[in-house]
Amino acid sequence: MLRSLMSGVSGARGHQTFLDVVGNNIANINTVGFKKSNVTFQDLLYQTHRGAMPPVEGRGGVNSLQVGLGVRVAAIETIHTQGNINYVGGDTNVAIQGEGYFVVNDGNNRLFTRGGNFTLDSENKIVQSGTGYRVQGYQMVADPNDPTQYNKASSLSDISIPIGSKMEARTTTKVGFRCNLDSRAPVVEGWDPNTWDPYADPPMDPAPTESSHKSQIEIFDSLGKGHTLEVLWVRTGEQEANEWSWVAYLPDAGSPQFVQRGVLTFGPDGKPAEGADVSPGITIDFTSVGAESSDITLDFAGESFDKPPIEGVTQYASPFTTKGYYQDGCAMGVMQSFMVTNNGTVMASYDNGQNVPMYKMSLATFVNPSGLTKVGDTVFKESSNSGLARIGVPLEDGAGALIGGALEMSNIDLTEEFTQLILAQRGFQANARVINTSDQVLEEQINIKR
Count CB atoms within 10 A of the CB of residue 168: 11
211 and 266 assigned to the same domain: yes
183 and 305 assigned to the same domain: yes
Chosen domain end from 327, 343, 368:
327
Q: What is the CATH number of the domain that holds 181?
A: 2.60.98.20
40 and 103 assigned to the same domain: no
192 and 242 assigned to the same domain: yes
Does 132 reside within a domain? yes
Q: Tell me if residue 66 falls in helix, strand or coil.
A: strand
Does 58 reside within a domain? no
DSSP state of 211: G
Does 60 reside within a domain? no
Q: Are 365 and 99 a contacting pair, CB within 8 Å?
A: yes
pLDDT per position as a tens digit, 112-166: 999 999 999 999 999 999 999 999 999 999 887 776 678 899 899 999 999 999 9
Structural domain containing residue 122: 85-167+334-408
Q: Count of residues for the chain?
A: 450
Does 53 reside within a domain? no
Please state at what angle helix 3-27 crosses helix 414-447, rounded to 10 degrees.
Answer: 160
178 and 309 assigned to the same domain: yes
Q: What is the pLDDT of residue 198?
A: 84
Does 240 reside within a domain? yes
Q: Are 300 and 264 a contacting pair, CB within 8 Å?
A: yes
Q: What is the pLDDT of residue 254?
A: 62
94 and 205 assigned to the same domain: no
Strand partners of residue 140: 152
Does 57 reside within a domain? no
What predicted TM-score, i.e. pTM, was given to this entire model?
A: 0.78
178 and 296 assigned to the same domain: yes
Chosen domain end from 301, 327, 353:
327
200 and 294 assigned to the same domain: yes
Q: Are 425 and 133 a contacting pair, CB within 8 Å?
A: no
Does 120 reside within a domain? yes
Number of domains making up the chain: 3
196 and 300 assigned to the same domain: yes
Q: Which residues of the chain have pLDDT under 50?
A: none
Taking alpha carbons only, the member of 187, 221, 400, 401 closest to residue 294 is 221
Chosen domain end from 327, 351, 384:
327
Does 56 reside within a domain? no
Q: What is the pLDDT of residue 402?
A: 96
261 and 341 assigned to the same domain: no
127 and 202 assigned to the same domain: no
Q: What is the pLDDT of residue 2?
A: 72
pLDDT per position as a tens digit, 325-363: 888 889 999 999 999 999 999 999 999 988 999 999 999
128 and 218 assigned to the same domain: no
